[in-house]
Amino acid sequence: MKKFARSKKLGFIAGPLFCVILLLFRGSFFNTEIDTVIAIASWMIIWWITEAVSISVTALIPLALFPLVGIGSIRDVASNYANPIVYLFFGGFVIALALEKVQLHKRIALSILKITGTKANGIVLGFMIATALMSMWISNTASTVVMLPIAVSVINLLIDDADGFTKNDQNFALSIMLGIAFSANIGGMSTLIGTPPNSVMLAFLNESYNIDIGFFQWMQMGVPFAIIMLAITYFAITRLFFPNGLGNIGSSGAIIQQELDKLGKMSKGEKTVLVIFILTAIAWILRSYLNALLPNISLTDTTIAVIAALLMFIVPLDFKNGSFPLDWKDTSRLPWGILILFGGGLALASGLKDAGFIRMIGDYISNQESWSMWLVTAILIFLMLFMTELMSNVALVTILVPLVVGIAMGMDVPILQMVIPVTLASSCAFMLPMATPPNAIVFASGHVRVDQMARIGIVLNFISVGLLFVIAYYIVPLLF
């Protein structure tokens, strides 16, 4: 049985206790409504930080408590859990399930590794590119899990060779493992469905301020950022921190080919899923053109995602035997908790907005005439990036994005100019194993020590702050 850590026990008690204490004194701080929402928010924040219970369970608190204390009706609160952005991510999850079920993601990854060759640094680059590309469309956890056993097989070649596991061999193993973890985090930032924080931000902006960001519009910023960050990370790993000095690793090509041979020829299921996936990506990219071409229909990214998800269940592979790419039982592996988390975050954000808390923050900031927009933006990016090393980035975005919006409004700055770089910062966690699932997975391989990850991670964190500041200053005003 898993031990209930002391920090979780303390958090479990402190959350509701702090909430009750604040409720007893509501009206003493701001006003009754704001104090009530802050009391419930404090409970949620404490449980999210300590993970006393699942963060998805915590996300149900607004649905249970807001109607009881007069913060919206049950209908109003529940509508947050059925926001269109929730279904955008649902569609993305279903597409990812189909890619995984037919092992198309593995075939794509192995094909990339085959192209990048058998030189040590080329192999590292191949693992990084393959992982990042997969992480654009499926979860960064799944991307890492797919790549890890292939990486271990390549590393074992060096462990078993004539000269044993030398220092250069260890650096090569370390480079592959860190490359996989960091690429999984980086790749997810390049699309709206690649990582949950992106969707949490979009859902809040869409619901509260009617701000919409197109899938391709985001990719115009996200993909170049990911490529630059990936290149910097590759250079830092292989040249600065852990150079391996190895040349050709001949047998690695045989291992990759062996894994491809295991997959055999592309099955009908793979081909079908690939066609649906490509058509979905094209529809997301060309959505605005399709709407202009067909004015009688109104395509949204969510509509496209749901249609794609539906096709995965209804396009027959074998009509006679009733075979389809996905069956409903496959959705048992779908992370429903993340969808609930979106809803809970939206409900909390809506409560803070409707109670006047965000407006109050904006009014306070607007009176601070000496504050520089760029200094505040840099501080927020820095705060988000280093806090996400210690707690869930989804929960953190849920908590901080409404406050960032209030600050932007108070400073009379375009909302997206602050919110987008701060949201992206939540995915730039490179220092600690507990920061993201990919970091934890490669740490568990035994080839990475905490001090090694932290040493390169803190450098990448600071580089990320600089790049995100550039995005805020130059890229966001240009694209959005």
pLDDT-derived band of residue 227, with 50, 70 and 90 as boundaries? Answer: very high
Res 238 pLDDT > 80: yes
* Residue 14 confidence (pLDDT): 94
Res 326 pLDDT > 90: yes
The predicted model gives 36-57 an average pLDDT of 88
Q: Which residues are CB-neighbours of 273 under 8 A, at least 6 positions away? A: 98, 99, 101, 102, 104, 312, 325
Q: Which two tokens stand for residue 344?
A: 């809970």
pLDDT-derived band of residue 40, with 50, 70 and 90 as boundaries? Answer: very high
8 A C-beta contact, residue 88 and residue 192: yes
More confident residue, 269 or 208: 269
DSSP string covering 398-465, please?
A: HHHHHHHHHHHHHTT--HHHHHHHHHHHTT---S-TTSSHHHHHHHTTTS--HHHHHHHHHHHHHHHH
Report which residue type is found at 88: L
* Residue 230 confidence (pLDDT): 95
* Residue 469 confidence (pLDDT): 87
d(CA 171, CA 151): 13
Residue of 48, 49, 41 whose CA lies nearest to 22? 41
* Residue 250 confidence (pLDDT): 61
pLDDT in tens, 272-293: 999 998 898 888 888 878 888 8
pLDDT in tens, 420-471: 999 999 888 898 887 777 888 888 778 888 888 889 999 999 999 899 988 8
Res 68 pLDDT > 70: yes
pLDDT-derived band of residue 160, with 50, 70 and 90 as boundaries? Answer: low
The predicted model gives 36-49 an average pLDDT of 89
* Residue 164 confidence (pLDDT): 62
Residue labelled with tokens 């393959």: 130
The predicted model gives 170-195 an average pLDDT of 90
Res 162 pLDDT > 60: no
373 by Cβ neighbours in 10 Å (0-12 / 13-18 / 19+) ranks as middle
- pTM score, whole prediction: 0.77
8 A C-beta contact, residue 431 and residue 457: yes
Q: What's the mean pLDDT when you consider all of the chain?
A: 85
Q: What is the DSSP letter of 472?
A: I
8 A C-beta contact, residue 205 and residue 213: yes
Long-range contact set of residues 266-270: C-beta below 8 Å, sequence gap at least 24: 266/107, 267/102, 268/317, 268/318, 269/101, 269/102, 269/317, 269/325, 270/102, 270/103, 270/104, 270/107
pLDDT in tens, 90-146: 888 888 888 888 888 788 777 877 787 778 888 889 889 989 998 888 878 778 877
More confident residue, 168 or 40: 40
Q: Where are the beta strands (DSSP E) in 201-262?
A: none
Res 64 pLDDT > 90: yes
pLDDT-derived band of residue 66, with 50, 70 and 90 as boundaries? Answer: very high
More confident residue, 245 or 329: 329
